[in-house]
């Protein structure tokens, strides 16, 4: 399996096409003159809450966290840092599938379009990050209004403004629930 030196850490770390990151064997002379030897070591990848896998790279007492998919793209595809305005896209939409053949460099716009096309990012209704009302609550709101409860009272009950309730009732927002 092919491996490449990690951009920025060429003397100390390598990455394999599979996404495995290794610290390479080396000797380091410390400030006090002592020599510290390091053996080859596979780094542990940690899955973050957003679904991406990170590794911690330690150099000279400083550590940095890097995403595996970015390291793969920089080391194998670009052979340089990812340019401004570009990002790494997982072709299959699976953030955990950090295999080189599943990655591509795209613009942020293309990455977002890919997420919508594949259903990874719908941002419609209650899945929208700013949504404060669930689909079930929409049904309750419409039922309350049909039974004669005022928009102001409904708004206070759901802790939103009256304009939000009005938008729901007249179909400007949350048309399908």
Residue-wise pLDDT for 141-159, tens only, equals 999 999 999 999 999 998 8
**DSSP character for 94?**
-
What pLDDT is recorded for position 177? 46
C-alpha distance from residue 44 to each of 40, 71, 120, 136 (Å): 13, 14, 27, 42
Q: How far apart are CA 151 and CA 163, in angstroms?
A: 9
Q: How far apart are CA 48 and CA 54, in angstroms?
A: 7
What pLDDT is recorded for position 96? 93
Q: How far apart are CA 36 and CA 56, in angstroms?
A: 20
Residue-wise pLDDT for 18-76, tens only, equals 999 999 999 988 889 999 899 999 999 999 988 899 999 988 778 999 999 999 999 99
**CA nearest neighbour of 142 among 154, 131, 160:** 154
pLDDT at 176 over 70: no
**CA nearest neighbour of 13 among 78, 66, 53:** 66
Taken in order of first residue, the domains within the chain and their CATH numbers are 3-117 (3.90.75.20), 125-169 (1.10.10)
Q: How far apart are CA 165 and CA 156, in angstroms?
A: 10
Q: What is the dihedral angle through the alpha carbons of 82, 45, 120, 126, rounded to the nearest 10 degrees?
A: -120
Confidence of residue 122 (pLDDT cuts 50, 70, 90): low
Q: What are phi and psi of 41, to 5 degrees?
A: -150, 130
Residue-wise pLDDT for 124-144, tens only, equals 666 566 677 788 888 899 999
pLDDT at 116 over 70: yes
């Amino acid at each position: 399996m092919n491996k490449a030196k990690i951009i920025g850490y060429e003397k100390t770390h390598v990455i394999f096409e599979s996404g495995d990151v290794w610290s390479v064997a080396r000797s380091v002379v410390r400030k006090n003159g002592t020599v510290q030897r390091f053996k080859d070591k596979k780094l542990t990848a940690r899955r973050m809450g957003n679904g991406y896998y990170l590794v911690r790279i330690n150099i000279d007492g400083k550590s940095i966290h890097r995403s595996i998919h970015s390291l793969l793209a920089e080391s194998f595809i670009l052979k340089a840092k990812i340019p401004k305005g570009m990002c790494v896209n997982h072709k299959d939409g699976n953030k955990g599938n950090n295999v080189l053949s599943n990655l591509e460099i795209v613009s942020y716009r293309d990455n977002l379009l890919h997420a919508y096309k594949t259903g990874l990012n719908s941002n419609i209704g209650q899945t929208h990050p700013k949504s404060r009302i669930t689909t079930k609550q929409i049904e309750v709101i419409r039922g309350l209004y049909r039974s004669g409860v005022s928009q102001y009272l409904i708004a206070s009950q759901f802790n939103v403004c009256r304009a939000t309730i009005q938008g729901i009732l007249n179909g400007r927002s949350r048309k399908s629930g």
